[in-house]
Structure 1
Amino acid sequence: MSSDLAQKMREIREVETSGRAEFAQLIGFNKKTVESIEQAGRAPKGEMLEAICKQWPKYTLWLMTGMTDETCGQISPDIERARSTLKKTGTDTD
C-alpha cells in the first residue's frame, strides 16, 4: 500500500532539490533510505518528517494535513511550482 507521506516527500524533493542525493544530504539521511521510502511507498518515520519540516518549514502544514494557508506562508509544492513558473515568465506581481 502506497503512503501519502512518501508521495508528499517525493513532491517536496522534486521541487526543492536536484535529486535524492541532495535531498538526503539536506535532511541528514542516507540516500538509500530516501530511495527505499519512495520506491516502497512506506511512510517516513517521525525523525525524517521532522527533518523535512525543519529544512522546508513552508511545507509543514501541507505535509502533515494536506492543507495549505498561503497567508501564513504554508504552501504545497504545486504552489511553489506555480510561483517559480510565474517568476521565470515575468508575470509575477512581486
Structure 2
Amino acid sequence: MSIPQDEKLKLIRDSERLRTKDIADMIGVNYVTYHGYESGKAKMSLENATKLFKHSRFRKYRDWFMFDETDPSTGQIAPALAHFGQEQETSSPTGKQTG
C-alpha cells in the first residue's frame, strides 16, 4: 500500500524537523508551489522532484518516495516517522513454549 505523494512529502519534512518554507528555500522552489505539493493540490513536477532529491539532505529518501523501496546498505531509507515494512503488526503464535 503506497502512501500518497503529499503525505510522503510531509513525512520527509517532519522527520527532518523542517518547516515547509525551509524545504522550499533549500531546494529553490516557490513556497506556494511547494505548499501545494504538501497539501495535495498539485503533483510535484519531475523538475522539482529532481531538485528535492539532488539535495544532500533528502537524497536518502529518493527510492522510498519514488518506488516504496529502501536499501539501507546504499543509504536509501524511509523517514523515521513513516510506517514502512510489513503490513502485519502482530505475529501469530508458534505454539512453542519459552522460558
TM-score, with structure 1 as normaliser = 0.71
Q: Is the 8 A contact 2:60 2:77 kept in 1?
A: yes
Largest Rg, 1 or 2: 2
- Post-superposition, which runs of at least 4 consecutive aligned residues in structure 1 deviate over 4 A? none
Compare the two structures and name the one with the higher helix fraction: 1
RMSD between superposed Cα atoms in Å: 2.1
TM-score, with structure 2 as normaliser = 0.68
Quote the Cα distance in structure 1 between the aligned partners of 2:46 and 2:37.
Answer: 13
Are 1:14 and 2:14 counterparts?
yes
Q: Structure 1: give runs of 5+ residues left out of the alignment.
A: 81-94
User: Percent of aligned pairs with the same residue?
Assistant: 28
Q: Structure 2: give runs of 5+ residues left out of the alignment.
A: 83-99
| Counterpart selection for 2:76 from 74, 77, 80 | 74
Q: Is the 8 A contact 1:61 1:67 kept in 2?
A: yes
Change (3 A) 1:62 1:53: same
